[in-house]
Each structure stands twice: as C-alpha cells, then as structure tokens.
C-alpha cells in the first residue's frame, strides 16, 4: 500500500468517525428531554354546532363582539393582537367571543397554541357544521364567508358594525364606545 492510499484510508476513517460522533451527539438524553417537553397550550376551545352557535348570537343586554378567524388565515393572525387589546380594554363591559373556522382536529393543538401565543383570554369556540353557509347567513346577510370577519351586535341584537378583512383598532373601539354611551 502506498502512502497516498494509507492517507485516504485514514482520512476516510476520520470522516466516518466524525459522522458517527455527530449522530450520537444529536441524540443525547438532554436533547430528548427538551423535545419531550409539552407544547404550551392556550385556553380551552369549545367545539360548537349550529344550535350552540345560534344560542351565542342571542342578545343578553350587552354589546356582543364576535370575530371569525382561522390559524391558516394570515390576515386573521395579523389582526389578533388588536383583538386581544380590545378584549382587555372592554372586559366586563361587552361580551367578546372568537369563533375559529379551523379544522376540527386542531381543537386541542393548533388553535389553543395560537391563542396562548397571543395571550388571548376571550372565550374561544370552534364551529363545526355540515352547512357553513347557513351559519354565515345567520350572522349577516352581507357576509360572504371570507376571513377575518368581525361583527359587533348592539344589546338588542342588531348589527352595529361589521367588517370583512382586517379591523382597525380605533374604528372598532369607537363603535363599542358609541354603544356603551347609548346604553347609559
């Protein structure tokens, strides 16, 4: 065996050794513990059907703000921090719920994880219905089903404000203030 062949054998053995060492190091118990830690989850998300949804829409003497959203909807995710601010500003003065239109199998994973990241405290529901158009029509005849969709109901159940697309914080808060002032 010549010197060049010996060098190649030794270099190959060293490379193989480094490869094995890096593979073994990647599977250390500390890393296994870190990957096994539970993923933080957010508030409990209640699955609702059309009947329960209709109950949530009934007026109870206070303004009701509802936001329809989904984790796969980029504009929904963008506006969520403003929704959390609105919830904090009007807590106890209005009813505020969010209705996720995510897939049913995400009720215990993606949806609560997103709500936890947003530090959302408002009640969260996931609507599961065979006929989404009927649910959409029960909210507003003007809503085509696009997300996000936000609707503010006056205490008597009439629509005071609605918006398909990103909300503007100052517009929604002004509409809420108007309802609260009228109710005094």
Strand ranges across the sheet with 45-48: 45-48, 124-127, 95-100, 64-69, 149-153, 159-164
DSSP conformation letters of 96-125: EEEEE-S-GGGTTTHHHHHHHHHT--S-EE
User: Helix or strand or coil: residue 33?
Assistant: helix
Are the C-beta atoms of residues 47 and 124 closer than 8 Å to each other? no
Q: Which residue has the tokens 């909210």?
A: 139
Collapsed DSSP state (helix, strand, coil) of residue 148? coil
Q: What is the mean pLDDT of the chain?
A: 83
Q: How confident is the model at residue 131 (pLDDT cuts 50, 70, 90)?
A: confident
Supply the pLDDT for residue 23. Answer: 38
Q: Check pLDDT > 60 for residue 116.
A: yes
> With bands split at pLDDT 50, 70 and 90, how would you rate the model's confidence at 146?
very high
Specify which residues 65 forms β-bridges with. Answer: 96, 152
Banded model confidence at residue 183, pLDDT cuts 50, 70, 90: confident
Q: What is the pLDDT of residue 4?
A: 39
Q: Which of 69, 85, 67, 74 lies closest to 153 in space, CA to CA?
A: 67
């Amino acid at each position: 065996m010549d010197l060049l062949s010996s060098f190649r054998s030794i270099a190959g053995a060293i490379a193989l050794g480094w490869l094995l060492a890096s593979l073994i190091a990647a599977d250390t118990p500390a890393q296994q513990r870190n990957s096994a830690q539970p993923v933080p989850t957010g508030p409990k998300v209640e699955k609702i059907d059309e009947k329960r949804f209709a109950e949530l829409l009934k007026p109870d003497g206070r303004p009701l703000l509802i936001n329809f959203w989904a984790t796969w909807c980029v504009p929904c995710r963008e506006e969520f921090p403003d929704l959390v601010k609105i919830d904090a500003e009007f807590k106890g003065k209005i009813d505020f719920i969010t209705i996720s239109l995510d897939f049913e199998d995400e009720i215990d994973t993606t949806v609560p994880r997103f709500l936890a990241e947003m530090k959302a405290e408002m009640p969260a529901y996931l609507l599961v219905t065979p006929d989404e158009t009927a649910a959409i029509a029960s909210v507003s005849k003007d809503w085509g089903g696009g997300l996000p969709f936000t609707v503010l109901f006056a205490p008597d159940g009439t629509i005071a404000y609605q918006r398909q697309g990103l909300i503007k914080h100052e517009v929604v808060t002004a509409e809420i203030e108007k309802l609260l002032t009228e109710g005094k």
